[in-house]
Copies of this chain bind each other. A is one copy, B any other.
Amino acid sequence: MSKKLGKLSEISEEKIRNFHEYTRLQGLKTTKQRGTILDVFFRMKGHISVEELYDIVKTVNPRIGYATVYRTLHLLVDSGQVEERRFGDGMSRYEGHSEVERHGHMICEECGQILEFFNEELETLQIKLADELEFDIHYHRHELFGSCMDKSSCAKRRKKNPKLK
C-alpha cells in the first residue's frame, strides 16, 4: 500500500472487522474499492476531509471514483465506526473515534490546529442541564474556537504572517 502511510492500529483493525460485520448483516457486498478506501482511511490520522482521503486513495488506485469515497464514508458512519465532523470550513471531516468516544474540539483560528478535550464533569453537567429541560441527548457537538497562543505551530504561522487578524 502507499509508502507514506503507517501501519494499521489494533483499534483500526477492529473497526474494519466491525464494518465488515455490519455490511454482512445488511446484505451488502465486499469490494476491492471499499477495501482500499478503508485501508487508507484508517492509516490516516486526524480529522480527514473527503478530498484529503481521495487524494491518497487515488495514489493507490487511480480508477476509484470520488462518489465511491463518499459512499464508503457514509457507510462507515452508518456502521458506527466513524464520526462525521463539521468545523465550519465548508466541508465534512471524518474521524475514526478516538479512545474517548465523546470529545470536544478546540480549533485554532490562526493556524488551524485542532485540539481534543474530554472531561467527565462536563459530560455530567450536560446531562444535568438536558434533564432540567426534559431533553434526551443522542450526541453532542462542543467546539471552542480561538487561538492556541503558546503553541509553536501557531507562533510560527504568526511570525510568517504577522498581519493575521
Further 16 A-B residue pairs, CB within 8 A, beyond A125-B125, A135-B149, A142-B142: A106-B135, A108-B135, A109-B138, A115-B133, A119-B125, A119-B129, A122-B125, A126-B144, A130-B146, A134-B149, A134-B150, A135-B144, A137-B145, A140-B142, A141-B142, A141-B144
Distance to closest chain B CB from A131 (angstroms): 11
Please, which residues of chain B bring their CB within 8 A of the CB of A70? none
Interface centre among A117, A129, A145, A148 (most CB of B within 10 A): A129
Contacts from A to B (Cβ < 8 Å):
86, 88, 106, 108-109, 115, 117, 119, 121-122, 125-126, 129-130, 133-151
Return chain B residues, CB-CB under 8 Å to A109. 138
Partner of A115, one of B108, B135, B142, B145: B135
Say whether B146 contacts A138, CB under 8 Å: yes
- Bound complex: CA of A143 vs CA of B138, how far in Å? 11
With the chains together, A150 CA to B88 CA distance in Å? 32
Contacting pair A130 B106 (CB below 8 A): yes
Q: Are A140 and B135 in contact, with the CB atoms below 8 A?
A: no
Contact, CB under 8 Å: A134 / B119: no
**Contact of A140 with B138 at beta-carbon distance under 8 Å, contacts A86-B86, A106-B133, A130-B106 already known:** no
